[in-house]
Structure 1
């Protein structure tokens, strides 16, 4: 699958947020990239604001347009608040769950662990980052991968009580998805209603 491999600081500066995690460049230059970036942010149109919110969500979770659209259509077809359901689907992607468990320091690193077959779901190796984890399933580090330096470093001092929808089990170096997360428990600064409005215009 294709993925964004360009400079992440540039994307973070575009949105004015550290959407990929701590960013020294953003701290020093919190203004848009480019020749005219160091000045007042230009006021975007209504459509531009909605589009930017969708782009921010896609970059945050590492999802490309077709995947994102398919996920939105699935959320729209489900009873409930479409925007919140969309975020729940994004949160339940395997790479995101690995990241939320503290097994990897970033979603990109989590995706790499999944792709390289270091992660199991209910004891079976799953190497599809977009795999949708269901409530009750256990996501863990594969036995022979538990000594990986990136895993040990990421787990060191990680607060496993941050996310109430996940239960950590130190004995298996993994955690169980207890239930779909509530919107109030998802820390991402995403205005999902703008994404719903954007797609409703298409």
Structure 2
């Protein structure tokens, strides 16, 4: 599994699936979540409302993931995950790592070969970008070594798509420290 760090806009990435740093309501919000909802069009909100009305009446749990179509996005799917909110006392790193692992499990189940992640829980949820980079990269590398039921993962490329040069630099450094360049 290759890992690449990209500075840019996740909504325009030519990958099979993008990961949305969603809130538990799945009904849109600010930051990456709002940008993805705007770029995907109103059908994304309708698909999320349908999930809430059927499979997820209480919302999506922290660390879990669920997929919808990508609608107007270049990506075929949007995988929504809810990162832990440090400001709300959610400081368990395993919850953050689960966002990456569960998103990859969903991607594999969809047959996605390429996935783009944002810096889940960095920003308004209060996690330090360095910790997010470290945990995210570790989780992706660990998943590549142990996918569901011993099968080879479908996902071949993971991009961490960061909006700022500073955050992209933090992720590049974490990737180098984790064992070198692209995985």
What TM-score results when the alignment is normalised by the length of structure 1? 0.24
Q: Choose 1 or 2 for highest CA Rg.
A: 1
What TM-score results when the alignment is normalised by the length of structure 2? 0.25
Q: Which has the higher contact order (CA 8 A, sep 6+)?
A: 2
Higher strand share: 2
